Amino acid sequence: MRSINNIAEVYSLKMEEIPIDETWNFPCNKENKMHSIHSYPAKFPAFITEKFINDYEARGFNADIVADVFCGCGTVSYETVRLGKHFWGCDINPVATLIAKVKSRTYDTETLNYYFNEILEQFKECKVDRNDEVYYNDRINYWFDVEHIDDLLKLRTSIKSIVDDFKYQDFFLCGFSNILKPCSRWLTKSIKPQVDSFKNPSDVIIAFNTQIKKMLKANMENMVKTDGLACIKQMNFLDFNDTLNVDLVITSPPYVTSYEYADLHQLSTLWLGYSDDYKTFRQGSIGSRYHHCDYSDNYQLINDVGKRVISNLYGKSHSQARAVSQYYLDMQQVVSKIYSMLKERGECLFVIGDTEYKGVEMENARHLMASLMDVGFKEVNICRRKISNKILSPYRDASGKFTKCTTNSRKIYAEEYIITVKKSIEILDCRDAFKMAEVCAYLLL
């Protein structure tokens, strides 16, 4: 880890000289099956949570409550609860929080099997209701043929009519969600929404059978009982105003130039009834260009790292410059709220990467470090980790699919940064200092 002790070092730091720490690169053990019950873009590396918690507790502290303010599909939540700790997290994406909740629970196997068999029987008897709104949704008709819409509607109806326990209903709706892309015209493994005109969509009931059996196996592996509890909210963290004190924050902020997650999860958003227009979920998300904020007002509030990026970008894309402006302002507010919710001696870990747009480097990591110091963190530690492996290639082909390094591929990113900070004890006045001295004297007796 490289330690940064003042803001001047943040601005002068040569990012390419930051050391690669091999201990953050790859896990020692294979991830539990629960992490793969639903596809999700750029999933958080599961082993990082356990490593950070263990490192923290090895120094004599207790990680009783862990938070992830961009919890996504619940990787940090699952690992935290598995270790017997309590978790609080939020995400603006309702598809993400559905997955996170399912991953963080344990289910009775007999009950799951009972519901599963009943759903399959109900599906055989279920009639198609052609008056249902799904048949009049342009986006659903864009992605699915009528035969698959028929079967998906029958399956969704069967799940909701058979499973009256909402905890168990979430389990099967999560499985339903994960078969939507295979059963559609969506280009397989693409990082952006596009139609595959040559694709033969999967049979709905065969895909559902395979999916639920996979989830049942994952649940069996997940049956170890712990005292850890998870509280997961579907909301923007910037809207969270309750009092919460946590020991650790472990999170991975969205990348400034990443595709809108609303686009990537539009099939689940539409079929699960979260919205009849997935675009509404873009509004209010971190860094969304669909914010209704004044660009010039934002710019004045952004730190110098952010201003430098925005100035370089503005001449190439006004709309993207506005989106980046909103992202940096949002992230500064996120950091401030994290500082407030963190206990004294608490620590944070961020996984973040730098990207580029139209040849302009998006200095996400440097901006984050400056923001952390601006709110009161005294020391920032940073290292690099490799993310290039057989599963996640840093290269994309012209269609956006993962590919190998070729003359026609382009490299997106192969590394990201681990940034950690700790919250020091603050002595506000002489009375607090006197009380602290009394406590120290007592402990030395």
Which pLDDT value is given to residue 276?
74
**Mean pLDDT (whole number) for 129-152:** 96
Answer whether residue 366 shows pLDDT above 70. yes
User: In this structure, are residues 383 and 20 in contact, taking their beta carbons and an 8 Å threshold?
Assistant: yes
248-305 pLDDT per residue, tens: 999 999 876 555 667 889 999 999 999 877 666 666 566 554 554 555 677 889 999 9
Which pLDDT value is given to residue 169?
98
Q: What percent of the chain has pLDDT over 90?
A: 66
Rg from Cα positions in the chain: 23
pLDDT band at 322 (very low <50, low <70, confident <90, very high): confident
**Mean pLDDT (whole number) for 358-383:** 94
Long-range contacts of 208-214 (CB under 8 A, 24+ apart): 208/155, 208/175, 208/176, 208/179, 209/120, 211/175, 211/178, 211/179, 212/116, 212/172, 212/175, 214/33, 214/36, 214/37
155-187 pLDDT per residue, tens: 999 999 999 999 999 999 999 999 999 999 999
Which pLDDT value is given to residue 43?
85
Answer whether residue 216 shows pLDDT above 60. yes
**Mean pLDDT (whole number) for 413-430:** 77
Which pLDDT value is given to residue 141?
96
9-36 pLDDT per residue, tens: 999 999 999 999 999 988 878 889 999 9
Give the DSSP per-residue string, 202-226: PPHHHHHHHHHHHHHHHHHHT----
Answer whether residue 44 shows pLDDT above 60. yes
Answer whether residue 121 shows pLDDT above 60. yes
3-state SS class at 109: helix
pLDDT band at 387 (very low <50, low <70, confident <90, very high): confident
Which pLDDT value is given to residue 136?
94
Q: What percent of the chain has pLDDT over 70?
A: 83
435-445 pLDDT per residue, tens: 434 433 433 33
Query: Which residues are registered as beta bridge partners of 418?
Result: 351, 383
- Mean pLDDT of the chain, nearest integer: 86
Tokens at 257, concatenated: 């130039």
Answer whether residue 230 shows pLDDT above 50. yes
| Among 119-133, 176-190, 269-283, 312-326, the least confident range | 269-283
| Among 65-74, 177-186, 286-295, 420-429, the least confident range | 286-295
Domains of the chain with bracketed CATH: 2-106+223-444 (3.40.50.150), 109-221 (no CATH)
Answer whether residue 312 shows pLDDT above 70. yes
Q: Which amino acid is at 200?
A: N
**Mean pLDDT (whole number) for 57-61:** 96
User: In this structure, are residues 87 and 77 in contact, taking their beta carbons and an 8 Å threshold?
Assistant: yes
Indicate the pTM of the whole model: 0.88
Answer whether residue 321 shows pLDDT above 60. yes
**Mean pLDDT (whole number) for 232-251:** 94
Angle, helices 318-341 vs 304-314, to 10°: value is: 160
